[in-house]
A and B are shown apart, each in its own frame.
Chain A
Amino acid sequence: MRGIQNNLKTLSDEGIRAVAISVDSPELNRKYMLQDAGYTFTFLSDPKLEAIRRYDLVHTGQGEKGADVARPAEFLIDPSGTVRWRMMTENLFVRARPEQILEFAKQLQ
């Protein structure tokens, strides 16, 4: 996430909009992600796991007090709504690197 923020200018120069999605509430996103952590891209709340379920990313019982959360995953979607690239990590500690995303984004029309 920090890597995305650090590369946000390069991403938007490439025409890529970064959007983070989690079960966290809008208040929590506003307070912790935007105000405290200083992120400036879009954070969306999915407390009922509507999108998370549609993308088959539910990680059962892994949240606070055994709540369901999203497993980490990244998708690059073109304006027609088609998935052009994705990263489904096999390890929580391994995430998509901004350079990988940028490199692919350059190939998008």
Chain B
Amino acid sequence: MKRLNWKIWAGFVLSLVAGFSYELVFVRWPITRDFPWANLILFAVAVVLLFLGLRRAFKPDKRIVAKIFSSLAAALGVLLLAGFLFAVFVFGRWLPASAAAPQVGQKAPEFTLTDPNDKPVTLAQLLSEPINNKPPKGVLLIFYRGYW
């Protein structure tokens, strides 16, 4: 009787989940975003399942189709893991040195930028306009890459 090699399928699906759940789910909480341990655990389980499934598919009584499909699934799973590691640990660190960025204790450079209502806004304004009818204690500038 033919039985489904569930380990290879589960391993493959789990590696998909491990690869894509970072962007979709785990990035929301600092604890799972700053270091992607949740995804790495999922990947570890996926790799074990893929390995076990692959071992089963390569038993002598299994058909060649099973061997090919299992190998493909395992290769894709490992590729996903490699892609994930690359994205988080290599691509994520490709940032400019920004050596001339203002240091703590230095004056923050003044600027005039446009708000969503097309009005010009200066840093001086941001630093002086009241918050809750009190003068502000500070302005938190958050530079980010953009919406896309």
Contacts and interface: CB of A to CB of B under 8 A. Distances in A.
Interface residues of B, number: 57
A45 B114 CA distance: 5
Residue among B28, B100, B124, B141 facing the most chain A CB atoms (10 A cut-off): B141
Contact of A64 (B27, B30, B115, B148): B148
Interface stretch (B12-20, B54-62, B73-81, B132-140): B132-140
By secondary structure, the A interface counts as mixed
Contacts of B109: 51, 54-55
Contacts, number: 220
Interface of A: 1-4, 11-24, 26-30, 32-34, 42-46, 50-52, 54-60, 62-64, 69-79, 81-86, 88-95, 97, 101, 105, 108-109
Contacts of B93: 90-92
A50 B111 contact: yes
Shortest beta-carbon contacts, A-B, top 10: A15-B137, A51-B111, A44-B113, A30-B116, A56-B100, A54-B109, A70-B143, A92-B92, A22-B146, A56-B101
B115 A42 contact: yes
Given A21-B142, A56-B99, A79 B136 contact: yes
Contacts of A1: 142, 144
Nearest to B89: A91
B111 A30 contact: no
Interface of B: 27-28, 30, 33-34, 36, 88, 91-93, 95-96, 98-118, 121, 123-124, 126-129, 131-132, 134-148
B128 to A, nearest CB: 7
A38 B109 CA distance: 29
Contact of A93 (B33, B129, B140): B33
Contact of B139 (A16, A22, A55, A57): A16
Contacts of B98: 55-57, 71, 73, 88
